[in-house]
Amino acid sequence: MTKEKQPGTRILIAEDDPVSRRVLQAFLAKWGYEVLSASDGIEAARLFETDDAPTLAILDWMMPGIEGPELCKRVRERKDRPYTYILLLTARTQRDDIFRGLESGADDYLTKPFDSQELRARLHVGQRILDLQSRLMEAGKRLRFQATHDPLTGLYNHGAIIDAIDRESARQLREGGSFGIILLDLDHFKRVNDTYGHLVGDAVLKETGRRIASCVRPYDTVGRYGGEEFLIVAPASDSSGAFHLSERIREAIGVLNFETKAGPINVTVSCGVAVGGANRPLDSQALLQLADDALYQAKKNGRNRSEPANTPESTGSGRSASTQAGMDAARH
């Protein structure tokens, strides 16, 4: 007889009666399920704790160690695991017993002796619910990604990278230490768009993001701050470490030409580096202001360079209109 395939479907059965367990295994194997079996509630609880525990389960009500309803409660208490669809098998037919089983966390029940086709139909219902939940979770992940990532580069967007600074600033206040940020701007990027078109400009931005990401540590965070500006948050970095990271990124971008449909293009960047530490705690806006001022200095001093920020004590409280206008002009 040909086995009816249902690829990728795993199911846990917990049944203390060996004959009933073998009958269940035979039906489920015929229907294409990969079966994990337990002979009591304790063994079933252990299988539920594994990283690859099935999300579909058939539990007998009366079992040694842990009964089916109690096992349902324990499974439902675990909020850090994917949802498990549980079908409770029981010889109890009283309404109060059925209510108790469902209230314990079971999704469905089937009375013994069960009809094999009814069991199969109820399992199909459970699988449809699990499939729907999986699609909803994937949709949620896509929406979260879209809400926090730049669609062009795939890096964190403006809001998400600012959140990363806020989180690191809060961590630094709790635990001490220091962290750095690097504000990076492509030099003369307007010329790229004006000369080669915005499609080539977009390709340059994407490749810039890729090169930045290839230089940072796994626990650093990279985001597109806006336009042709990128922002890197570097935890556990002092002034020297953040500056060296900035230089490594700058060199990775400027040493090799960007290969585009319009031919090779040389791209350079200017970077402003600012560091917050236990001796000078700074919120995200103050740290960004320092990095922005340092970036302006890098532009003013010839571009294609990194500049460390002045300390807060030596930084003015604000910019004049003429200074702001000069900074805006220097960026292009």
Residue among 32, 37, 3, 34 at smallest CA distance from 20? 37
Which candidate in 207, 228, 229, 307 is catalytic? 228
What does DSSP say about strands 229-235 and 34-38: parallel, antiparallel, or unpaired? unpaired
Report the alpha-carbon distance of residue 136 to residue 114 in Å, rounded.
32
Q: CB within 8 A of 241, min separation 6: which ones?
A: 180, 234
| Surface-to-core class of residue 303, CB atoms within 10 Å of its CB (0-12 exposed, 13-18 middle, 19+ buried) | middle
Q: Does the annotation mark 103 as catalytic? A: no
In this structure, what token pair is assigned to residue 321?
A: 């209109």
Q: How many CB atoms lie within 10 A of CB 30?
A: 14
Which phi and psi (to 5°) does residue 34 adopt? Answer: -90, 120
Question: How many other CB atoms are found less than 10 A from the CB of residue 115?
Answer: 10
Phi-psi label, residue 191: left if phi above 0, alpha if psi -120 to 50, beta otherwise: alpha
Answer for the pair 109, 100: CB distance below 8 angstroms, yes or no. no
| DSSP characters over 179-202 | EEEEEEEETTHHHHHHHH-HHHHH
Mind telling me the catalytic residues?
A: 228
